[in-house]
């Protein structure tokens, strides 16, 4: 049985009942897959009623959305608080964001959810849809907003802000996430994450110089 994951136990400062449901859902998803996971089993393991589960999340998809959205929200914090008066500040903001992204995406829990999405893709697109709408899309918008602000301040050229975000993400992750999902790479250390983030930030600024 999958062990409780500390990343999931304090999602958004969740109260005990909500955290218990998220922990139980993660374990059931890992054991049964999305299609095989039932809200009854999740509620039973969390020691709550199905009524309480539905009151908190609405559905099985709602539980999955909460797991993914919490990770996505933590990743975006460096962008939401970023002040970018000059290119040095922009590079620093991108570096902080890159560190946040890799620190979240390379955790065992997130890798496991992505593996599950791939495994379920042939039978159901539910996990992929939630990953896209609750995870990737909010981060894509946050990145585009940062690059738009940087353009308005004359810090970047006139390229497509959304494309700039894609460049940064590709430079940051490379094939690391795929290799982690395949189990052929080890999670990066804090120093390696910082180095990747700095390199990606520097490169995307060079590619999009004003």
Q: What is the C-alpha to C-alpha distance for residues 69 and 85, in angstroms, rounded to an integer? A: 30
Domains and CATH numbers, the chain: 60-207 (1.10.357.10)
What confidence category does residue 76 fall into, taking pLDDT thresholds of 50, 70 and 90? Answer: confident
pLDDT tens digits for 179-206? 999 999 999 999 999 999 999 999 999 9
Contact between residue 46 and residue 21 where contact means Cβ atoms under 8 Å apart = yes
Question: Please, what is the average pLDDT of the chain?
Answer: 88
Nearest to 200 by CA among 177, 166, 150: 166
Q: What is the C-alpha to C-alpha distance for residues 134 and 192, in angstroms, rounded to an integer? A: 27
Residue 131: HSE in the Cβ half-sphere, 13 Å Cα cutoff:
17
Tokens (6 digits) for 176: 């690391």
Regarding pTM above 0.85, the answer is no
Query: What pLDDT does 8 receive?
Result: 46
pLDDT (mean) for 141-162 = 95
Q: Give the CA radius of gyration of the chain.
A: 19
Least confident of 57-71, 89-103, 144-158, 160-174: 57-71
Q: What is the C-alpha to C-alpha distance for residues 162 and 164, in angstroms, rounded to an integer? A: 5
DSSP letter, residue 208: T
Residue 49: HSE in the Cβ half-sphere, 13 Å Cα cutoff:
3
pLDDT tens digits for 6-43? 444 444 445 788 889 988 988 898 888 888 889 999 99
Task: Kindly report each contact of residues 22-28 with a partner whose C-beta sits within 8 Å and lies 24 or more positions away, as own/partner.
Answer: 22/63, 22/66, 22/67, 25/60, 25/63, 25/64, 25/67, 26/2, 26/67, 26/109, 26/112, 27/1, 27/2
pLDDT tens digits for 36-68? 889 999 999 999 999 999 999 998 888 888 888
Tokens (6 digits) for 171: 């430079």
- Cβ atoms < 10 Å from Cβ of 30: 18
Q: How far separated are the first and last CA of the chain, in Å rounded?
A: 53
Contact between residue 29 and residue 37 where contact means Cβ atoms under 8 Å apart = yes
| CA-CA-CA-CA torsion sign (196, 149, 75, 122) | negative
161-173 vs 87-105: helix crossing angle, rounded to 10: 50
């Amino acid at each position: 049985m999958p062990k409780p994951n500390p990343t999931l136990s304090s999602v958004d400062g969740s109260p005990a009942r909500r955290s218990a449901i998220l922990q139980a859902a993660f374990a059931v998803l890992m054991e049964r897959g999305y299609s095989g996971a039932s809200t009854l089993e999740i509620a039973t393991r969390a020691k709550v009623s199905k009524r309480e589960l539905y009151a908190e999340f609405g559905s099985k998809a709602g539980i999955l959305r909460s797991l993914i959205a919490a990770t996505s929200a933590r990743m975006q914090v460096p962008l939401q608080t970023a002040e970018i008066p000059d290119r040095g500040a922009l590079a620093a903001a991108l570096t902080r964001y890159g560190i946040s992204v890799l620190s979240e995406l390379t955790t065992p829990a997130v890798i496991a959810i992505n593996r599950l999405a791939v495994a379920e893709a042939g039978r159901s697109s539910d996990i992929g849809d939630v990953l896209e709408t609750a995870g990737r899309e909010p981060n894509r918008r946050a990145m585009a907003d940062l690059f738009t602000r940087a353009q308005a301040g004359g810090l970047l050229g006139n390229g497509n802000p959304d494309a700039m975000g894609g460049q940064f993400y590709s430079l940051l992750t490379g094939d690391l996430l795929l290799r982690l999902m395949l189990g052929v790479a080890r999670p990066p250390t804090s120093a390696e994450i910082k180095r990747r983030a700095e390199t990606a930030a520097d490169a995307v600024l060079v590619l999009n110089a004003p």
